[in-house]
Amino acid sequence: MTAKLIKGTEIREEILEEIAAEVKEIKEKNGVVPGLVTILVGESPASISYVTLKIKTANRLGFKEIQENQPETISEEDLLALINKYNDDDSIHGILVQLPLPKHIDDKKILNAIDPDKDVDGFHPINVGRLMIGGDEVKFPPCTPAGIQEMIVRAGVETSGAEVVVVGRSNIVGKPIANMMVQKGPGANSTVTVVHTRTRDLASHCKRADILIVAAGVPGLVKPEWIKPGACVIDVGVNRIGEKISEKTGKKIAILSGDVDFDAAKEIAGSITPVPGGVGPMTITMLMKNTLKSLKFRQGIA
Ligand code: NAD
């Protein structure tokens, strides 16, 4: 069997079109657009490239976008003051602080200073709590797990009663996606197992999974024989395993691999996400969706 490919690049386009149409409609009816501020501290090339992509996507969707590029030397106090400025700005619905921050700044203090109703990354403890409660309490599901759930749903995979196994227990992927899949409601209602570095027999758990979500950051961790025939496999891992010269630009680029042995797994799974082009493109897409949601909550139209 050759698995159906769940392509994040295609699903991203579908969702961005839906968001753009909604933004246009709200602008016409209510005269407002979603406002997103991206706060970048320092000049790390990786952070610059992530922020640039977020800005480009926000502009494409017709959002108001403010870029706050601050020097590496900014004090914690000044950064907190900047966040408070945007907490008080009614035209801003989402505040995004690009991580990592310089060592002299306490990330936790900064993220906790963001108004939870503008925390479109969903990392504030209040939003983590809302996610745990589930249902109508949830405002901003964290973007990568929200993207994973959206892919599963849009691929037509049944989640109700399904055995979901999540490999990894990080706060940004493993724990939140496990929490989301176990909730009562559409795209969830699953029976969830979370496995990690201290799990005794990883293979036996993975073999049970109707939906296997892997977020470990270990290339090739999941072997083909661990996959139940017909399962849906979501490979979140993004691992740099080498470099090559790009045919398009002639520049050096990273060779990426997921956590699953893709070539062998696609012959056993029912559906599978590729790396790159799978979960990766979904994160920024869901950030845009959360920013639109924030505007709708503010306008009382959500
Ligand atoms: P993390 O390092 O914070 O957590 C990894 C988790 O995997 C840990 O809980 C650990 O217990 C578990 N793990 C590690 N090795 C294991 C092993 N051998 N057996 C069982 N469990 C093991 O990582 P993270 O932030 O959750 O990210 C995981 C992967 O997903 C990384 O490759 C990261 O680059 C990728 N990622 C991709 C996106 C995206 O595509 N948008 C977003 C976030 C993370």
Residue 1, pLDDT score: 64
CA torsion sign for 58, 293, 126, 158 is negative
**Which residues have a Cβ under 8 Å from the Cβ of 296 and sit 6 or more positions away?**
26, 302
The rounded distance, in Å, linking the Cα atoms of 240 and 47 is: 16
Q: What's phi and psi for 98, nearest 5 deg?
A: -75, 125
Task: Name the residue at shortest CA distance from atom 13 of ligand 1.
Answer: 216
| DSSP-derived secondary structure letter, 258 | -
DSSP-assigned letter for residue 22: H
Q: What is the pLDDT of residue 184?
A: 97
119 is catalytic: no
Residue 178's φ and ψ, nearest 5 degrees, are: -60, -45
Atom of ligand 1 nearest to the CA of 258: 32
Taking the CA of residue 143 as reference, the ligand 1 atom at the shortest distance is 41
Q: Measured from the CA of 196, which atom of ligand 1 is nearest?
A: 21
Mutation to probe ligand 1, out of 179, 196, 201 (largest number of atoms < 8 A from CB): 196
Q: Rounded to whole angstroms, how far apart are CA atoms 27 and 35?
A: 12
Place of tokens 């559906």: 271
Helices (H) and strands (E) in the chain, counts: 10, 11
Going by alpha carbons, the residue nearest to atom 5 of ligand 1 is 216
Q: Which residues of the chain have pLDDT under 50?
A: none
Which pLDDT tens digit goes with each residue over 155-186? 999 999 999 999 999 999 999 999 999 999 99
Judged by DSSP in three states, 97 sits in: strand
The answer to whether the CB of 1 falls within 8 A of the CB of 229 is yes
Strands (DSSP E) along the chain, which ranges?
4-5, 35-41, 64-70, 94-97, 163-167, 191-195, 211-214, 232-235, 239-245, 252-257, 271-272
CA–centroid distance, 176 to ligand 1, in Å, is: 13
3 state DSSP class of 164 = strand
Report CA(20)–ligand 1 centroid distance (Å).
32
Q: Is 276 in the pocket of ligand 1 (CB under 6 A)?
A: no
| Eight-class DSSP state of 243 | E
Distance between Cα 170 and ligand 1 center (Å) = 7
Q: Is 58 in the pocket of ligand 1 (CB under 6 A)?
A: no
Residues with Cβ within 8 Å of residue 29, at least 6 apart in sequence: none
The answer, as to whether pTM is greater than 0.95, is yes
To the query of whether residue 54 is one of the catalytic residues in this protein, the response is yes
What is the number of the ligand 1 atom nearest to the C-alpha of 278?
A: 40
CB of 174 sitting under 6 A from ligand 1: yes
* pLDDT value for 302: 78
Q: Clarify whether 149 is annotated catalytic.
A: no
Exactly one of 27, 85, 108, 121 is catalytic; which is it? 121
Candidate list 98, 118, 235, 259, residue with the active-site label: 98
Q: What is the 213 CA–ligand 1 centroid distance (Å)? A: 11
Q: How far is the CA of 168 from the centre of ligand 1 (A)?
A: 6
Binding site membership of 218 for ligand 1 (Cβ less than 6 Å): yes
Phi, psi (5° rounding) for residue 156? 75, 25
Q: pLDDT tens digits for 85-133?
A: 999 999 999 999 999 999 999 999 999 999 999 999 999 999 999 999 9
Residue 99 has what DSSP assignment? S
